[in-house]
Each structure stands twice: as structure tokens, then as C-alpha cells.
């Protein structure tokens, strides 16, 4: 229903957001947005969530969006402040997260430079374009008051229409403060565009025919399976085909990780064929943004609502922009009518043996280290798998945390990670996720000490809003994943011969992360031995679920891989 709204530019913006159903606004306040915050103080309906760094703000909005499905709205500051969003907007861009970032703009034709505003010749919106949806969704409102609502509505549609992603909106500070403005808002479409429907019947039949004819089809379920609520359909298809399921750099657990057909990370490892006697001859990508690395299978099919990264560096034999859930249902029904469906379980029975072997290897690693004094990452993984409830949400920011034993995805815990790899995501995203799922559902933050160094100021926000997150910090005192990646690139380098890795040792002096959290109002404890681990995790769960308070468990964990024993660092001092 159309309606006319009046007030300052800030009020026009706020009323448009309210009309779109926005309940939470994430921010670190700035002076160029006076009109927005004056409107918030006058209105009082929207809940403001504040953090002490813009990167945390963006991560909170991203975590909120991922678990609620709603647009995450950020009120940022002029260009210098907006630039602080960059790392986490990059993560949101890679993940395809629907965010709307609004910032005041001090641009002036008369004044060359003011504080954090752009230098002459630059525009604020243009400077942010590279880290928005498709590197293009940045808009500026400079002179026309009615454009505030028009541009906000356009941005909401942009953010939520595939390919989804963050949108940046720069609005003149003078317009935000100006009084007596008027605009028209309201529509029955609720500022969203209906997404594509399922694939056409003839296309569904063609997909089913190729799957039925393949000797060993490989399935890969991407993030649009999770977003589209198609996990049950994914399981049904895999079980009918008795096909191996792999993943490739997903931000959600789109297929249950403890399902007996889940075979780990793509590309298909060399020992798959050795163990199963099967050679993959078809790759079916469902709701994926593409594949990380090369593709070896001779036949490749890809479907999903987002065509942006389909077939960018590999050929496609079937390519369809479509909705995922009903398309999967149609493909599975068509396969069920196939004459060969009764024999697939027998032909591919060894796939389950390979998946079981992966779990057995991880369980053997746990047994090997369960009596160590210092906690091995596999032992922490086993404890989390045993203790965490299935309705929990896990936000992960650790590239070396082990998760093979955790039950993630359909029938297990919800799980998400940054996507872009820019550190500083975890704390903010966990806060946003907790706001999205509410008090009753547990949220666990599984992150490393290297990542926490980027966002530890977020414990203050946890305490301020009492977002009862259990933060489990794996402290190995190093940037371990960087050391591993260096070794892959240059295994013969001098630093590996001498066991000296510049810039990777994070201790000396050591950081007390529990004290860091406690100084901001969040209690916790440090685990230094395996014996202390289970009681500490149980206390953390008790504190966050029954006590409804955030809690930190810092776990001293063993380092793994090449150079694990090295504590060398540059020892110069002033």
C-alpha cells in the first residue's frame, strides 16, 4: 500500500527501512549521519546494535543475514570510516550476503577536503564499488530528497536479487539533516523480486538422463541449497543415486557432513578410485558459485539461481539458472522412474566405505592423541562433537580447526564461515547469528587466536547486548595456516630448512584472551591440559544456555604440520 512520509532525510530513510521489515540496524556512529541517529532517537522502534569497529559492524550484519535470511543493514560513516568495512564487506561479497550499507556523505562542490570525506575528484560511492555486489552496486544521493527512498528501495532489491550481495548507498549529510522533506513508499512486492522458478520439465529430464547414464556421478551442493531450504532434497538425490558428495569452499554445511555418502573436499582425491574401484565421470554442481581449482570429470552440469560464476573456467554440458529445491525434487522423481535405479546402490556400495574411511582416520587421530597433555585439535574436535547440541549454530573462523567428526548440516548443527578469508569475521558474525536465532538456540564461535586478534574488541558488544555466545578459542600461538601455505608454494626455501618463519609466531609476549574478554564484561577460563577440556566446555555450555551469558573457553592446542615445533621469531627490540 502506498503512503506518503514526511520529515528529515534521516526520517525518510528510517521509515523506508521500517516499511521493508528491518528490525535491527548495526552501526559504529559517525558525525555525517546526524540525521539518521536523530531519527532513530525520535522513532525508537528499530533496535540499534553498536560495535567499536566498522569491521565488526559489517560482520554482525552478515552473521545476522545468514541465519535470519533478512537483509543486514549497516549505518557506516563517510569514506574514511567506510573503508574500515573493507575486509568484512569482501567476505560478504564472496559469500553473496544481502547487506545494505548506508553512509552519510560530506561531498561538496565548494570545499576541497573535509576530515574523512573524499579528496577532490573522488566520489564516496564509487570508491566502495569494488567490494559490493558484482563490484557495481554502489549509489549516491546528493541533491534530490525523494531519491533517498527511491535509492534505498533500489538497494534492497539489488541486495536480495540473485546474484545476491552487499550494496552501498551514500547519502548527502545535508539531505539527511534537512527538514520538511516528503516521499512515497509502500508496495505489495515488499521491495523484493520473485526468484527464478524450477527448471523446465524437458531440462529436468535431460539432467536425470545424464545422471542415470553415468558410471559414477559426483554431486556438489553449494550455498544456494542451504539458502533455498533444499537440504532434504539434496540428501534424497544422493541416496537414490548412491553417489559421492563433495564440497568446495562453501560458507554453509549444505549436505550433512556425517552422512555416509559425504566424501570430503573436492577435487576427488586420488585414493577414492583406489578404495572404491569407481572413476568419477560426471560432476553435478547444484547451487554452487563455481569450483575452487580445476575440474577433471568429462561431463559437467550446473544449476542454481546465481549464474555469475557458472562455467567461468570449465566447460558446461548442462547449464540452468533456476530455483534449486523443486528442481531437485523433479530430478529425483525422474530418476526414480529410470529402469536402472534399483541397481545403483549395489554398483556404488563402495562409496560408503570411502566415506567411512575418512571418519576412521580422524577417529584414529583422536585415539593417538587422547592421552597427550596438550590438547590436539582432533581431541578438541571430538569433545565438541560429543558435547554440542544438534540445534546449535557454529560460526567458524579457523582454517586449521578440524571438523570431520562434527555433525553439520541437515539433521545436525547449522554452520557458517567467512567465505572470503579476511580475518575479523568470527566475533561479529557470531553476535549477529545469536541475534538472528534468539535466546533459546545455542551459538558457538569456533575460532583461532590469529583470527581473534582482529576482532577481540567485539567482546564488549557481546556483553553490552548479552548475546550469549560460547567462544571456543584454539590458541596455538601462530599463524599456522600461513606456514602450511608457504610450504606448499616453496618447500625448499631457507625458512623451512632452518625452521624460521618470519612474522608467524604470536607469543612472546603471550596474550591472555580470557583476561581480554573479562576486561570487556565477558567471563571465561583457559584450558591448558586435555584433562581440563571437557569440564570447561560443559561449564561454558551451562553458562551460555541456562545462564544466558556469553562465555569464553581458551584452549591451548598443539600445532600441526611442517614447522610445528618452531617458536623462532625476530628478536630485535628498540
What is the distance, to the nearest Å, from the Cα of residue 197 to the centroid of all Cα atoms in its chain?
Answer: 25
Query: What local confidence, expressed as pLDDT, does residue 494 receive?
Result: 97
Q: What are the pLDDT digits (tens) for 175-199? A: 999 999 988 888 888 888 988 899 9
Give the whole-angstrom CA distance, residue 117 versus residue 183. 27
State the cell numbers at 129: 564499488
Give 3-state DSSP helix, strand, coil % of the chain, rounded to 5: 40, 20, 40
Q: Are strands 299-304 and 318-321 parallel, antiparallel or unpaired?
A: parallel
Give the whole-angstrom CA distance, residue 267 versus residue 499. 31
- Containing 127, the helix (H) or strand (E) segment is helix 124-128
Q: What is the DSSP letter of 323?
A: -
Q: What are the pLDDT digits (tens) for 368-406? A: 999 999 999 999 999 999 999 999 999 999 988 999 999
Whether 323 contacts 197, CB under 8 Å: yes
Q: What is the DSSP letter of 375?
A: B
Residue in the block written with cell 573436499 = 265
Give the length of the chain: 574
Q: What are the pLDDT digits (tens) for 345-367? A: 888 999 999 999 999 999 999 99
Diameter of the chain measured on Cα atoms: 77
Q: Are strands 3-7 and 181-185 parallel, antiparallel or unpaired?
A: antiparallel
Q: What is the pTM of this model?
A: 0.96
Cis peptide before 464 (omega within 30 of 0): no
- pLDDT beyond 80 at 341: no
Among residues 453, 417, 551, 426, which one has the least CA distance to residue 58?
A: 426
Query: What local confidence, expressed as pLDDT, does residue 390 receive?
Result: 96
Give the whole-angstrom CA distance, residue 529 versus residue 517. 21
Rg (CA), the chain: 25
User: Dihedrals φ, ψ of 204, to 5°?
Assistant: -60, -45
Q: What are the pLDDT digits (tens) for 440-477? A: 999 999 999 999 999 999 999 999 999 999 999 999 99
- pLDDT beyond 80 at 203: yes
Give the whole-angstrom CA distance, residue 200 versus residue 198. 7
* CA separation, residue 430 to residues 207, 275, 341, 415, 419 (Å): 38, 39, 43, 11, 14
Return the SS3 of 496. helix
Give the whole-angstrom CA distance, residue 106 versus residue 168. 16
Return the SS3 of 407. coil
**% of the chain surpassing 90 pLDDT:** 82
Amino acid at each position: 500500500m502506498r503512503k506518503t512520509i514526511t520529515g528529515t532525510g534521516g526520517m525518510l530513510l528510517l521509515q523506508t527501512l521500517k516499511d521493508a521489515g528491518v528490525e535491527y540496524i548495526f552501526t559504529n556512529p559517525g558525525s555525517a549521519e546526524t540525521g539518521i541517529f536523530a531519527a532513530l532517537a525520535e522513532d525508537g522502534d528499530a533496535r540499534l546494535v553498536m560495535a567499536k569497529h566498522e569491521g565488526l559492524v559489517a560482520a554482525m550484519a552478515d552473521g545476522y543475514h545468514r541465519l535470519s535470511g533478512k537483509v543486514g543493514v549497516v549505518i557506516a560513516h563517510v569514506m574514511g570510516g567506510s573503508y574500515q568495512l573493507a575486509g568484512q564487506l569482501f567476505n560478504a561479497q564472496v559469500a553473496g550476503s544481502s547487506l545494505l550499507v548506508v553512509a552519510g556523505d560530506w561531498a561538496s562542490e565548494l570545499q576541497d577536503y573535509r576530515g574523512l570525506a573524499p579528496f577532490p575528484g573522488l566520489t564516496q560511492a564509487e570508491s566502495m564499488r569494488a567490494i559490493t555486489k558484482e563490484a557495481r552496486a554502489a549509489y549516491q544521493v546528493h541533491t534530490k530528497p525523494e531519491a533517498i527512498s527511491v535509492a534505498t528501495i533500489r538497494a534492497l532489491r539489488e541486495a536480495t536479487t540473485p546474484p545476491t550481495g552487499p550494496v552501498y548507498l551514500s547519502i548527502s549529510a545535508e539531505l539527511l539533516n534537512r527538514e520538511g522533506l516528503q516521499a512515497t513508499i509502500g508496495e505489495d512486492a515488499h521491495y523484493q523480486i520473485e526468484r527464478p522458478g524450477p527448471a523446465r520439465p524437458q531440462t529436468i529430464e535431460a539432467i536425470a538422463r545424464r545422471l542415470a547414464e553415468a558410471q559414477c556421478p559426483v554431486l556438489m551442493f553449494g550455498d544456494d541449497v542451504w539458502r533455498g531450504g533444499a537440504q532434504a532434497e539434496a540428501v534424497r538425490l544422493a541416496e537414490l543415486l548412491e553417489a559421492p558428495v563433495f564440497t568446495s569452499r562453501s560458507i554453509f554445511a549444505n549436505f550433512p557432513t556425517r552422512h555416509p555418502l559425504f566424501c570430503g573436499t573436492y577435487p576427488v582425491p586420488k585414493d577414492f578410485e583406489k578404495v572404491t574401484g569407481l572413476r568419477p565421470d560426471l560432476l553435478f554442481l547444484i547451487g554452487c558459485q563455481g569450483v575452487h581449482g580445476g575440474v577433471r570429470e568429462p561431463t559437467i552440469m550446473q544449476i542454481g539461481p546465481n549464474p555469475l560464476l557458472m562455467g567461468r573456467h570449465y566447460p558446461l554440458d548442462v547449464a540452468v539458472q533456476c530455483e534449486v529445491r523443486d528442481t531437485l525434487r523433479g530430478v529425483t522423481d525422474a530418476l526414480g522412474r529410470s529402469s536402472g535405479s534399483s541397481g545403483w546402490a549395489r554398483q556404488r556400495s563402495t562409496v560408503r566405505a570411502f566415506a567411512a574411511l575418512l571418519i576412521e582416520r580422524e577417529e584414529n587421530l583422536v585415539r593417538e592423541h587422547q592421552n597427550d597433555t596438550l590438547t590436539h585439535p582432533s581431541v578438541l574436535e571430538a569433545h565438541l562433537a560429543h558435547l554440542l547440541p544438534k540445534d546449535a549454530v557454529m560460526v567458524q573462523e579457523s582454517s586449521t580447526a578440524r571438523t570431520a567428526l562434527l555433525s553439520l548440516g541437515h539433521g545436525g548443527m547449522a554452520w557458517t564461515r567467512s567465505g572470503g578469508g579476511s580475518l575479523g569475521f568470527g566475533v561479529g558474525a557470531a553476535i549477529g547469528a545469536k541475534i538472528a536465532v534468539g535466546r533459546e538456540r545455542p551459538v558457538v564461535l569456533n575460532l583461532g587466536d590469529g583470527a581473534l586478534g582482529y576482532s577481540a574488541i567485539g567482546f564488549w558488544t557481546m556483553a553490552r547486548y548479552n548475546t550469549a555466545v560460547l567462544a571456543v578459542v584454539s590458541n596455538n600461538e601462530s599463524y599456522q595456516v600461513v606456514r602450511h601455505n608457504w610450504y606448499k608454494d616453496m618447500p625448499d626455501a631457507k625458512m623451512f630448512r632452518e625452521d624460521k618463519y618470519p612474522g608467524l609466531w604470536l607469543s612472546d609476549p603471550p596474550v591472555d584472551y580470557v583476561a581480554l574478554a573479562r576486561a570487556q564484561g565477558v567471563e571465561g577460563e583457559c584450558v591448558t591440559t586435555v584433562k581440563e577440556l571437557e569440564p570447561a566446555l560443559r561449564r561454558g555450555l551451562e553458562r551460555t544456555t541456562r545462564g544466558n551469558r556469553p562465555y569464553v573457553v581458551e584452549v591451548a592446542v598443539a600445532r600441526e604440520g611442517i614447522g610445528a615445533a618452531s617458536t623462532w621469531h625476530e628478536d630485535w627490540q628498540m
